[in-house]
Structure 1
Amino acid sequence: MQQAWVQIGWLLLVLLAVVGLPKLQVQPSIQAYFSKDDPQVIALERFQQQYTAAPNLLLLLTSDVSWRGSSQQKSLKDFIEQLGQLSGVDAVSPYTLLALEQALPPNIAKQFVSEDSLNISLGLNISPEIAAQASALKQLFEHLDSRFDVFSKTVGFSYRYGGELALSRQYLAVLRHDLSWFAPALLLSFALLFSWVIRQPRWLLGMASCALISLLITLGLSAWMSLKLAAISAFLPLVLVSLAMAYSSHLYFAWRRLLRTKANQLPLSSAQAMHLALESKLLPLFWGALTTALGFLLLYLSPSPPIADFGLMVAMAVVINAVACYSILPLWVKGIDVTSTTIDVRPEADSIKFSGLIKARKSLLILVFGLSVVAVMSVKNLRFDDDSLGYFPDDNPFSQSRNLVQQQFLGMHSLRYLLLEKDQSQRSFADVSALESLLGFLNKQPEVRQLTSRNDWLDWLEQDPSAKAKVFALQQADVEWLKQEQLLTVWLQPLTSRQLIAFEQRVADWAGSQQINLSPAYSNNLLFAKFSQANGQAMLLSFAAALLLVALVVLLLRRSVYLMVLALLANGLPLLWVFALWQWSGQHLSLGSAVVMGMMLGIIVDDSLHILLNVHPARSVANLQQGMNDIIPALLLTSGALVIGFSLGALSDFLPIQQMSLLSSLSLVIALVFDLLLLPLCLPLRDTSPSLSIGESI
């Protein structure tokens, strides 16, 4: 009866998840990485509402003939009218046509028409509702493609998409690409690995069912909780399934060991062996699941909603899988006929000779100490840096459009400022000398590519009296803009996040020293740069909190300050070494690498807990040897499964996932070395003589 209620409970959860799955939202926009309550996000939104938001989609058109020809311009005007009628298109920038008519100053026209007039940039303002919905965004690009197909029959040209929504489109493409590759690659690699090691069909089916049910319920509950998937969420299935399979592997090896040790005694049924395995592994698996779940929950410290949601989803999956292993897995295992199953009664071979390692313990620890000191010195030089426009390979459509904008136009990096009077309530024009001084300072900065200020527009209006009427007819809002405070646009060379923040700070410091009342810089790129830095700092805090969690758990379980320090070193040093290698290779802390710092400690501590709870206290070297022999196969398989699962992220076209994959895999490998070779050597032994038998008293 109890089993029937368990099955009914799981069935109801699965049904609830299936009903919720269609509600799961995919957030394609880069804006999803920013919290709506962030003061800088709110300030940027207000600025864009008041001073016209920069186009969030660029149409980059390349022709073999000049776009300044009358027939080309006439076709372009007709095309622009059609674009304006598309659902979701709030506005089409008129400045491209003005630039083609040579009605703009050359430095301003560069934003829209290349010097050879063969490339033009047409800006579209797409409704935020469209930009935030994956299905609506996909439909928008389908409509645009159909319009381009018709237009290209009249005018021969090629086109690319650029700007924020082109980036969002690639995020969606990454999510689809990665999920389509990750699923079969994970299935194939795990089928080979686990079938080769376990060779028990019912065990394999039970482990797979626990993993898939956990994944399904997690996604379904996430939908009901309004959690969202973003590009970085493509890593989610790899993490969930790898952790689930690794978790249940410990139970298999405990089950197999019990059948081996009892083979010459009273025979155990498969169900009895499973029951004893669950009892013997309760503490390490419970605390392992708890530390892993809490470790991922610490990602909630991230200022980015997708990263926080990612952590919450994995934490839920870890808990769900732990419950599944204790309720669903036994239902599969009890049907195994152990009388017809060949059980190797020989004890596990000594895969690692700890007697020899103990003799070399002093040398090994000195080596580890020396390498750790070097690693600390290296990590001190690790800096936060990122480039949200460089997440894709060079042959990616977005990378190609980014290069085109940087080569033929003014680029994709810009900052916008307001220069106000000291008394901002008057809303009067800024002092001319202050503007000239600011322009002079900015023109001397090597990062600056070009400046656009109100002076350029005023010069144009003075030189061409008809220009104001043209602008007024095309976009009255921008004429009103000319009557407001001094708006200054700084076009920059391609910069990383760190370089962009440094430039913005340098300008702010200079303006303060000159007592010029300059507003903060407004830019989506700058917003992402500051977010990346804040996220890195949050992940450092998450890492520190995870270390504290490990310390408290070990202290609670073992009541030993020495073992607590040992656990901290065994789990902290692998990450220190990994990020030292990362710095030595010339890399920085970015979106993907910072997340690894926040999440990995909760994963790698699992093996340490198994050693501390199953091997310690060891009375002798022989006692230590047997204790490690019992758990080494499980540690090798679980770590191997995690390394394989996480390394599949290298198949992604998305740089943050590639970085998460590489750093996670390296962390797991180095942590395994620490757990198998160094942690046992540091466990206190009453007798280091290898000849002391297990049965002798202390």
Structure 2
Amino acid sequence: MASQVSLIWKIQQRPITMFIAIAILTLLAISGFERLKLDIDFSDYFSPADKRYMAQKSMSEQFERHDQLWMMLETSEDWRQQSLQTQLIEFIGRLEANSDISSIQGYNQFIQGLAHTDKILSYKTHPRLASVLSANGQAILLRLQIEPPQAVAEQNALTQSQWLDNVLQKIDSDSQQYWQVNSVNIYLNGTHALNWQYAKVLRHDLSWFAPGLLGIIFIMAALFIRQKMWVVGLCLNNGLTLVLTLGLAAWCQLTLAAISAFVPVIIVTLGLAYAAHLYFGWQAQINAGKTAQQALSYTVKVNQAPLFYSSITTIFGFSLLTLSPSPPIQSFGLLVAFAVLCNYLLSLTSLVFFAKYAKAKHEPILNFDKVIQLGKFNAKRPLAVMLGIVLFSVLSLMSVAKLTLNDDPLSYFSSANPFTVSSQKMSQYFSGINLQHYVIAGLEPKQIDKAEVSFIYKFSRYLKLQPQVVDVQHIGDWIKAAGIGQTQFRQILAQNSVADLRLQSELSADKYSTLLTLYLQPMTAMELIQFEQKVNTWLAEHATSVDVSPPLGSNLQFAHLSIDNANNMLLSFAVALIALAILLSILKKSCLFGFMGLLLNFLPLLWVFAVWQLNGGFISLGTAVVLGMMLGIIVDDTLHLMLKLPDEQTMTTAMMWHSLQKVLPVISFTTLTIALGFSLGLVSAFTPIAQLSLLSCLVVIFAWGFDVLMLPVLFQRWLINKQTQKSLD
């Protein structure tokens, strides 16, 4: 470490070179901003190489299912009334005037005659009428297909997102204005509507996070860091770190999504918290009568090793998020890891440069003196403390064992969100939006025939008996509605194209495969997985004469993603925890230090998730990420504590309290800073960020409590008593 300290001061002797290098990197980062891949698309949470994602995409290409945008019109009257139908036709004409809308299908096809004219198959009752007209006639569905102009389609994702926002905003406002007189309610649903809400959530969060971060910096500066040059250096470092991190995202084409809005909060919060160790070490030396240069030399020398190792562990912790199967979470981890590296380098270069010009004047350092008194009070009751920790830890293990995966991407918005309301209305009047598909084909590539249709009827009967199934739609519905037999249907199918029969949504163009669609009740991720396994068991026994694809659906795909992500985050947490214990054991040359570090970082997470479960919490995308990232954050205070304490061989009670007197107040400040920064996520309109924020705040606070209340007890009980026993021997 002495060589690194020497390098820091050599760099300070060439400030112009240092700032030129920083300026070049900053300009390089800014030049790549136009390449930023800010995708506001639900499908971006899936890896393009994921087999389920590829199968889902293949199915969408094989069958013409334009389900991206549904409009539901609700009224207290009956849409089968002539007056309402006349108005609907006029409304359809206005929508068709919008150049962004390429086609409109649904209930309008029935009143305009499009669902009946030129049809080869005649029906007593159209098999899909109930899908677009509710049983009481008070709600209808329109399926709008929108296509971006060529100029927009060739642009980046951000431009396409802006186009989608403008189009849906216009469709919604024009529709609301047209139907206002008739008191008709308009609801938009489908993947386009879902992505629209993701974009709104992202803008909402960023509009709160930016001023919130500025407010926290102002509060910390006004109450604790009263040196202007230090504040200038901290703000510059955070600004540069953000710019460089965005540059990395741009040049590496990292996938950014709604959850990425929390990345700047983490970057600024950690930057402020980590650099605080340098400032408070400097101010303590000023108060002790040292000159500004002496104080700066001292704080760099004392804090360089803890900052180095804490940065390494934080980088390692966030880098483990790349084990997630979801690209946005992988990007999340990489960006924060890179930002921590930037902040470390800038703290020991540009921040030190500005600190050299700070005025040496006495300032009160923190107001956390009672923290030491609390620690001493607790240390007098070691048996009670250790017994309580063991008891609560055992109870926490029992509670955590009951945690379940209860994730649902359609519930990531508040109950008042337009997409949430529209989803509830879709379930009220129709079959809901929780869809699953099975692609069914013969064992050989040929037109579907009697064997496939017979199996479809059998499979459908089984599915309709399941309590989770609301409705089942398949090619057999058309055969029954037309009143023809399977032989006659085979002849008609052989003589006509799929387009002529208007069965593109359920028959592939080559007629080799057909689609069976399930409408399911709202289900959690685990319930979806269990239902899938149950159906797969039945298929393994009965689907011997046909080829049936795995179940395809966005909700089911997300359920698998949630489970894989949770398992990977748990693995990353275990790896990081073991690595921390090994690192502390090596640095302090004591396995006891390593074991204590393990306890100090494992138990806070255990207790927090136990409290989370007792309050009805569950494992979701946001909560699983906490496992992957929080160890890399709370370990920093542990390292500052451990590395600034005497070694096991020289530890005494007086030396322990002298060291803790210096470190615990600073750790209290960093805990307060991180808790305040992360609490900004509580205002997020995106549930994963709100959950991540809440659990992160709790983990940081619990970790601080363990450092203050548990660490002195462990040191005194295990290390100091051990030394005393050795001296007596």
Q: Is residue 60 of structure 1 aligned with residue 72 of structure 2?
A: yes
Q: Is residue 252 of structure 1 aligned with residue 279 of structure 2?
A: yes
Contact 1:621 1:688 in 2 (8 A): no
Relative to structure 1, the CA distance from residue 159 to residue 9 in structure 2 (aligned partners, 3 Å threshold; closer, same or farther) is same
How far apart are 1:307 and its partner, in Å? 0.5
Which runs of at least 4 in structure 1 moved beyond 6 Å after TM superposition?
A: 151-154, 345-348, 467-471
Residue of structure 2 equivalent to 1:655: 687
Residue of structure 1 equivalent to 2:400: 379
Q: Is residue 547 of structure 1 aligned with residue 577 of structure 2?
A: yes
Residue of structure 1 equivalent to 2:378: 357
Q: 2:526 aligns with which of 490, 493, 498?
A: 498
Relative to structure 1, the CA distance from residue 373 to residue 569 in structure 2 (aligned partners, 3 Å threshold; closer, same or farther) is same
How does 1:393-412 map onto structure 2 within 5 Å?
393-412=414-433
How far apart are 1:272 and its partner, in Å? 3.1
Contact 1:348 1:629 in 2 (8 A): no
Residue of structure 2 equivalent to 1:390: 411
How does 1:385-464 map onto structure 2 within 5 Å?
385-423=406-444, 428-431=449-452, 433-462=454-483
Relative to structure 1, the CA distance from residue 82 to residue 537 in structure 2 (aligned partners, 3 Å threshold; closer, same or farther) is farther
Cα distance in 2 between the residues matched to 1:143 and 1:11: 40
Residue of structure 2 equivalent to 1:583: 613
Task: Show CA shifts across 1:74-125 (max 9, x none).
Answer: 6655665775676665654456523886867476323222223332222234
Residue of structure 2 equivalent to 1:312: 334
Residue of structure 2 equivalent to 1:200: 227
| 1:604 alignment partner AA | I
Cα distance in 2 between the residues matched to 1:419 and 1:515: 10
Cα distance in 2 between the residues matched to 1:666 and 1:521: 39
Q: 1:123 aligns with which of 143, 147, 151?
A: 143
Task: Show CA shifts across 1:469-491 (max 9, x none).
Answer: 99956947358549443432111
Relative to structure 1, the CA distance from residue 99 to residue 34 in structure 2 (aligned partners, 3 Å threshold; closer, same or farther) is farther
| 1:410 alignment partner AA | S
Q: Is residue 209 of structure 1 aligned with residue 236 of structure 2?
A: yes
Q: What is the CA RMSD across the aligned residues, in angstroms? A: 3.3
| 1:442 alignment partner AA | L
Relative to structure 1, the CA distance from residue 207 to residue 499 in structure 2 (aligned partners, 3 Å threshold; closer, same or farther) is same
Q: 1:620 aligns with which of 652, 658, 680?
A: 652
Contact 2:319 2:333 in 1 (8 A): yes
Cα distance in 2 between the residues matched to 1:360 and 1:451: 65
Tell me how many residue pairs correspond in the alignment: 686
Residue of structure 1 equivalent to 2:362: 342
Contact 1:94 1:475 in 2 (8 A): no
Cα distance in 1 between the residues matched to 2:50 and 2:72: 32
Residue of structure 1 equivalent to 2:323: 301
| 2:60 alignment partner AA | Q
Cα distance in 2 between the residues matched to 1:378 and 1:345: 40
Cα distance in 2 between the residues matched to 1:369 and 1:143: 58
Is the deviation greater in 507-516 or in 531-540?
507-516
Q: 2:164 aligns with which of 134, 140, 146?
A: 140
Cα distance in 2 between the residues matched to 1:140 and 1:420: 36
Task: Show CA shifts across 1:175-226 (max 9, x none).
Answer: 1101111111222233123321222222222212211211121112211111
Cα distance in 2 between the residues matched to 1:346 and 1:198: 9
Residue of structure 2 equivalent to 1:644: 676
Cα distance in 1 between the residues matched to 2:367 and 2:479: 88
For normalisation by structure 1, the TM-score amounts to: 0.90
Cα distance in 2 between the residues matched to 1:273 and 1:451: 75
Q: Is residue 535 of structure 1 aligned with residue 565 of structure 2?
A: yes
| 2:600 alignment partner AA | A
| 1:526 alignment partner AA | L
Residue of structure 2 equivalent to 1:219: 246
How far apart are 1:332 and its partner, in Å? 1.7
How far apart are 1:540 and its partner, in Å? 1.0
Which blocks of at least 5 consecutive residues in structure 1 are unaligned?
Answer: none
Contact 1:300 1:312 in 2 (8 A): yes
SS in 1 for 2:229: helix
Residue of structure 1 equivalent to 2:298: 276
Relative to structure 1, the CA distance from residue 663 to residue 152 in structure 2 (aligned partners, 3 Å threshold; closer, same or farther) is closer
Relative to structure 1, the CA distance from residue 109 to residue 393 in structure 2 (aligned partners, 3 Å threshold; closer, same or farther) is same
Contact 2:126 2:481 in 1 (8 A): no
Q: Percent identity among equivalent residues? A: 34
Cα distance in 2 between the residues matched to 1:246 and 1:67: 61
| 2:21 alignment partner AA | G
Contact 1:596 1:663 in 2 (8 A): yes
| 2:132 alignment partner AA | F
Is the deviation greater in 157-166 or in 666-675?
157-166
Relative to structure 1, the CA distance from residue 147 to residue 487 in structure 2 (aligned partners, 3 Å threshold; closer, same or farther) is closer
Task: Show CA shifts across 1:368-406 (max 9, x none).
Answer: 111111111221221222011111111111111111111
How far apart are 1:174 and its partner, in Å? 0.9
Q: Is residue 629 of structure 1 aligned with residue 661 of structure 2?
A: yes
SS in 2 for 1:587: coil
For normalisation by structure 2, the TM-score amounts to: 0.87
Q: Is residue 33 of structure 1 aligned with residue 55 of structure 2?
A: no
